[in-house]
Chain A
Amino acid sequence: MKNRSSQGRTFSPGLVVSDLWVTYANGVTAVCGASFALRAGTITALVGVNGSGKSSLFKAIMGFLAPARGEVTLSGKPVREALKSGLVAYVPQAEEVDWTFPVLVEDVVMMGRYGRMNFMRIPRAADRAAVSAALERVGLAELRKRQIGELSGGQRKRVFLARALAQESEIILLDEPFTGVDVKTENAIIMLLRAMRDEGRLMLVSTHNLGSVPDFCDEVVLFNQTVLAQGPTATTFTEANLAEAFGGSLRHIRLGGGALHDDDDDRRVTVLTDDERPLVLYGPRDAETLVKRPPEEPR
């Protein structure tokens, strides 16, 4: 089911981070001089080692941390203003959520509408319609009266995607959307994200799942306290750039020469993995020869 209110709308300027510095009270600087700009209607992977400041960057974008220097603008607006107008949705990691909380699936999705309601948060017909449409779209309409703890891993992810849909936000930040889900669910989520991108939304996805990045991300930001590389996935998500971003902390398997070929073919297979689905590269040059899964649906 299509979400009519967001269908065909073009969302403009996107997310701009300029010379951002984030320093904690204990003096630790987590982000030093990061700058990048993302267009609306794109999916960007934010990739970096644990402790590289990715979550600090997320927090600064959502205004939880005040930057020591620099600024963030969302759709051309400063952070506070953007949050007030409901421009930004956040899809949390599964570990951040208390699944025993006494809320139903539809209650969580309705929370996406709170910014649009009066101070008592009494839902109107439009809010209920948006919740139903979002649940329908992620395939959870049947489970709307379930307590959230009764859902499977993949369904749990989709509840929070549905909340972002109901919120009708232009910018969506996703934290590890593929942790602990099976391949079928991962494909379903990727298809949903692509459809949302085609509606003009901007998505920034923090992920360790290197193998899925070429499948659905248009752009990549490689991050370690600052931006190491940014650009289209094909030219940025390369072995050399990943090696720089991860240093020695990436599992690295390379097959070539006699181990791979009977002839004198000089191409080799490279497997890069952080902890989840590995990135497989084949050939002497990285960019053009990425081994990709066939896309599940035409873009």
Chain B
Amino acid sequence: MSLVALLIDPLAHGFMQRGLVAALLVALVCATLSCFLVLRGWSLMGDAISHAVLPGIVVAHLLALPLTLGAFAAGLFTAWLTGRMAAASRIRPDAVMAILFSGMFALGLVLFLRVETDQHLLHILFGNMLGLEWNDVTEIALIAVPTTLIVLAKRRDLLLAGFDPAHARAIGLPVGRLDSLLLILLALAIVAAMKAVGVLLVVAMLIAPGAIAGLLSQRFDRMLPIAMGAAMFSSLAGTLLSFHADAATGPAIVVFQSMLVALAIVIRRRKARSGATA
């Protein structure tokens, strides 16, 4: 089989076309956000929000609301509660997040197994990339594309609020509102990624690209394209691999991303040894 056939053949199938478009969209939005999460030390927040959407999905199903809406609301609620709990108690934020996300996830599992839904638990946890319909892909696009564009448009303000909040305030930027905006965009990205890669694997997509970019560049404006490139390559490679090797798509993508992180570490060490600075 030629290399071209390796790439083209799978795309003859509608389910592969839909899966690939979804994978690329999810890669784009997660990679953009991951640069900020990694720099701000908010990786765990992505973990917390993604686990916390599960009870939101069940409750939305009970109330006959769109599942996406329930997931989004539950994610934001957890982010808000994390801030409140850390401020009101002497528990450190990482412990607060760990308690909250496992607690919300457990609540979600209890509710899920109690309530009859038409959803498959495995699909929520690990995604169902190759089982997506075009309306699912449209929904992902409607969330992922504007979210990415907002992050890119506000990237300098978001970066400044993380790098030097005192200066940001001194020039009149609304630092608190920028932090909230970042959390809202994070919750949106997780909701967009949910159907494709699932709430467990989205965490990797929200951390790995930013980590790769941070290892390879010392300039933020270069980190963004590196992160996007790495994430989209992983999505493409993972989706194709899953077709040819009959492997699970979401996990295959995450495996590729993890390999790229390892590769970036090796490249960084080589550079450091040769004395070059990026």
Contacts and interface: CB of A to CB of B under 8 A. Distances in A.
B171 interface: yes
A83 interface: yes
A73 B166 CA distance: 19
Contacts of A114: 156-157, 160, 171, 173
Interface in A61-120: 62-64, 80, 83-86, 88-90, 92, 96-98, 101-104, 107, 111-112, 114-115, 119-120
Contact of B220 (A63, A89, A90, A102): A102
Interface residues of B, number: 22
B97 to A, nearest CB: 21
B169 A83 contact: yes
A161 B160 CA distance: 17
B169 A111 contact: no
Contacts of A150: 277
Contact of B169 (A64, A112, A119): A64
Of the candidates B39, B166, B171, B219, the one having the most CB atoms from chain A within 10 angstroms of its own CB is: B171
B87 to A, nearest CB: 9
Of A85, A112, A121, the most chain B CB neighbours within 10 A belong to A121
Contact of A84 (B153, B159, B172): B172
Given A114-B156, A114-B157, A101 B169 contact: no
Interface string B153-179: 100110110011011011111000000
B218 interface: yes
Query: Interface residues of B: mostly helix, strand, loop or mixed?
Result: helix
B90 to A, nearest CB: 12
B265 to A, nearest CB: 16
A62 B170 contact: yes
A85 B157 CA distance: 17
Nearest to A145: B219
B223 interface: yes
Interface string B216-229: 01111001000000
B209 interface: no
A207 B26 CA distance: 50
B277 A90 contact: no
A115 B218 contact: no
A102 B219 contact: yes
A167 interface: yes
A104 B163 CA distance: 12
A90 B173 CA distance: 14
A114 B171 CA distance: 8
A90 B223 contact: no
B169 A62 contact: yes
Given A114-B171, A114-B173, A102 B218 contact: yes
B214 interface: yes
Contacts of A85: 172
A80 B174 CA distance: 11
A147 interface: yes
B220 A107 contact: yes
Contacts of A121: 156-157
Contacts of A104: 218-219
Contact of B214 (A80, A92, A102): A102
Contacts of B220: 102-103, 107
Nearest to B41: A98
B153 A120 contact: yes
Contact of A163 (B167, B218, B219, B277): B167
A101 B169 CA distance: 19
Contacts of A64: 166, 169
Nearest to A150: B277
Given A101-B39, A102-B217, A102-B219, A90 B172 contact: no
Contact of A86 (B159, B160, B172): B172
A80 B172 CA distance: 7
A112 B167 CA distance: 8
Task: In the A-B complex, list the 3 residue pairs whose CB atoms are closest, starting with the nearest.
Answer: A115-B171, A121-B156, A147-B218
17 contacts: A62-B166, A62-B169, A63-B169, A83-B169, A84-B172, A89-B167, A89-B170, A101-B39, A102-B214, A102-B218, A103-B220, A111-B160, A112-B167, A112-B171, A114-B160, A120-B153, A120-B156
Interface of A: 62-64, 80, 83-86, 88-90, 92, 96-98, 101-104, 107, 111-112, 114-115, 119-121, 147, 150, 163, 167
Interface of B: 39, 153, 156-157, 159-160, 163-164, 166-167, 169-173, 214, 217-220, 223, 277
